[in-house]
Each structure stands twice: as C-alpha cells, then as structure tokens.
Structure 1
C-alpha cells in the first residue's frame, strides 16, 4: 500500500536529493516489510501550485489524523478508504492525494469535514475556524447547522442561534418566516457568549459569516417559512 508524506527539499547536488520531513512519524520497519526487506522506492512529486497546495495537504492529514484517532484505526487505512470514496463519488480512477488539483483537494477536504461533523469526530489536530479559508468556513457552518453541532466546539445537543434581531421580523419565533434570516449553531455556553459579545464582534472574532436559512435548514430545525 503506498504511503504519502510531505517534506521540504533542503539540498540537491545534481544526483542526490535531501528532503526534510520534519517530525513525521514514518514507520520504517513496516515499509521494509512491505518491500520484502528492501529499501522502498518513492515517487517524487514537486508542488507546482497547480496541484493541491502544501497547506491543503496539511489540512488533509490533520483531518485524517483526527478521524483515525476517533476510530482507533491506522491513519493510512482511513486515508485509503476516503480516497476510494472520493474517487467513486467523482467517477475517477484511483487517485493519489499528491496528484489532486487544488479544486479536487478542496472537495476532498469538504468530504472529510462533512464526515467529521456528522459523526461528532473530536477535531483536535484540525481546527476548522483557524485553518479553513473563508469560503470553506461557510461550508463548515452549514454542515454544523444540518447536523446540529456547535460550530465552535462540536457539541451536540446544541441550538440554532439567530444573528438577525427577531423583534424586527415580527417577534414571535413560531410565526415569523425564517427564510433568509442569518443563523449559526451553538451550544448553550457559546450561545450565551455570543449574546454577551454582540453579533458583529462574535462573527469577527471567530471568522464566521452566519448562514441564511433555506428550506433544507428549515426542515431540519422545524422552522416556519410561511
């Protein structure tokens, strides 16, 4: 089974290439066993910025590491399964994460995040609100709403928190039309914190945008949309 690692080239003399892989935990003995005791060969792929970025690669491995810890599985086994699921979903042949385009890598990360949110995977290596781009934070907020998990800590149960003033829309939450009102999903502790901080300060501090209620969100949360 191929194993993929990321490193930084620190020297090249025309024949020998030296790569620093940092604190990466490479199970060298396992690699030797896979190759009948022989030093394994490697494929060398340089990041040309058209393929997935080094930052995206870091995010993939952090998410896979969290999912593997939660499942009690080998991260490489987890990675292999998600690569198979990704290739199947997008009708691709077997694909290496190092050969993904930036768009493919973004979609792959989205699949990992969706799985983590749906199943309540504790995200310790991967911190979505610190590591995601603004566009991807929006997707994460949406997943948290659909799965009723706090966008800040992942807690379930949690509640929808309205960012737009309800009083300006009729006052009665049971009767107003919730469509297009901005909301986020928060646990009780963070719900209170958001109320104390004020909407815009809260959104700015945690890089959130809020999600406008659509019919799917309304159905999940039993909201009136008439």
Structure 2
C-alpha cells in the first residue's frame, strides 16, 4: 500500500477534510476496498512523501536500464552514499529531509555519470539550477527536457548577427545545453522569457571544462588572450 501525505483543509460539521498529495494513487486504494488509513502529525524535518517517490522513481529507472532488481539498486546506492558521506546506515522511511535531499542529488549524479536515462522532472527542487545546467552540459543532455538527441550548446549572451560563431571565446559567455526544439524556442521567445519559463540561466564554464567539452583548444584560448593583450595596449597608447 502506498504512503500518502494529507494536508488539513477544513472542518465541516463533524467531518474533517484533507488534501491528499497523490489523488490517483489514493483512489486506487479505495477501489481495492481500503477505507481506513492511519495518520499522524507530520515531522517537517523528516523525509517527505514527495522525496521518497522521487527516490524510488530513480531506483526504477536505474533498474530498468541496468537489469538489476530495484532492491539491489537501492542497497548498492545506499551503501555507496554512506561510504562517500560517512552518514552510516539510514532508512528511507524515517531519515531527515536534508539527508533525503543529499541522497537524491547523489543518485541523480550517478545517473548522469553512467548515462542512465531518467525523468528530468526529478531534478526540480532537488538540484540547484546552476548545478543542473552544469551537469547537462558535461553529460550532454537537454537542460529542459533531458533529451540526448539534436543537442546544441546555446549562448545565452547573444553572439550577434554577422559574428563568426567559429571564432568565439566561450569563456565570455553563459552556456546551456539545449535540444533543437528548445534551442529554437529560446531564439523565438528571447532569453528573458525563456529563463522565466524554465527557471535557469546559462553558466560560465572553467577553462578546464571548456577544454574537456572541446569547445575550445588551449591554442585558441592563448590566441584570444594575446588578442586581448594587444587591444589593451592599443587602448592604452591610443
């Protein structure tokens, strides 16, 4: 039986009304004939039902991709997380909300690292926007929808008409990975509207990341630096 979170709504006569976090799943339990449910006051410092569902959704995605049973996926990831963080053994039924958040981040980055497809909605309210943009750039996944097809690196700071896009110092631009569909949308509605809609901005990458992504070579970086140096000298003398 699923666990549910109920939020108090109102008292009407002798009846108490609640809002349920997953109405469809709750209706399924009613159809099974389950009419009584245990409830207790929520501890806001404890793992939420939404967090728990995100975690088990990730377990299912990893299980489907790797062929391992969900329980084995769960056990291995918990063990690795505990080893990496020093948290020790913990339960997903009563751990803290903060620990659950860290564990979700750990599992998401595991999926990125091993190219395991997962529902990108799981990242919402779990990984901060800047980290999400970085991971999608490094692991080549659309920051909006998670697609790995038709990917293009978008320059949020407009390159400008007439400029040579093959001669750009990417260190001076905020970058984000988008699929063809969302890259087209970015240019159709504009940077501000796009950021307002999807709640993230591009990021400036370190030299190391730019080299790793093969956006520029060290030679190109050096050439730009020499060009900037010459311009600075000209401005000083002019």
Q: Which residue of 2 aligns with 1:87?
A: 82
Quote the Cα distance in structure 2 between the aligned partners of 1:79 and 1:71: 13
Give the conservation status (yes or no) of the 8 Å contact 1:149–1:185. Answer: yes
Quote the Cα distance in structure 2 between the aligned partners of 1:215 and 1:99: 42
- Counterpart of 1:114 in 2: which secondary structure? helix
Q: Which residue of 1 aligns with 2:199?
A: 207
- Counterpart of 2:154 in 1: which secondary structure? strand
Q: Deviations over 1:143-197 (max 9, x none)?
A: 11111122223315622111101239x9444544323521110123332232222
Give the conservation status (yes or no) of the 8 Å contact 1:155–1:187. Answer: yes
Q: What is the number of residues matched between the two proteins?
A: 191
- Counterpart of 1:184 in 2: which secondary structure? strand
Contiguous gaps of at least 5 residues in structure 1? 10-19, 25-44
Task: Determine whether 1:54 maps to 2:46.
Answer: no
CA RMSD, 1 decimal: 3.4
Q: Which residue of 2 aligns with 1:160?
A: 153
For residues 1-226 of structure 1, what are the structure 2 equivalents within 5 Å?
A: 6-8=3-5, 22=26, 47-124=42-119, 127-128=121-122, 132-133=124-125, 136-151=128-143, 152-156=145-149, 158-167=151-160, 171-179=163-171, 181-224=173-216, 225=221, 226=225
Contiguous gaps of at least 5 residues in structure 2? 7-21, 30-39, 226-238
In structure 2, the CA distance between the partners of 1:175 and 1:8, relative to structure 1 (3 Å rule), is closer
Q: TM-score, normalised by structure 1?
A: 0.69
In structure 2, the CA distance between the partners of 1:137 and 1:5, relative to structure 1 (3 Å rule), is farther
Q: Deviations over 1:192-220 (max 9, x none)?
A: 23222221222222222222222343122
Give the conservation status (yes or no) of the 8 Å contact 2:115–2:139. Answer: no
Q: TM-score, normalised by structure 2?
A: 0.66
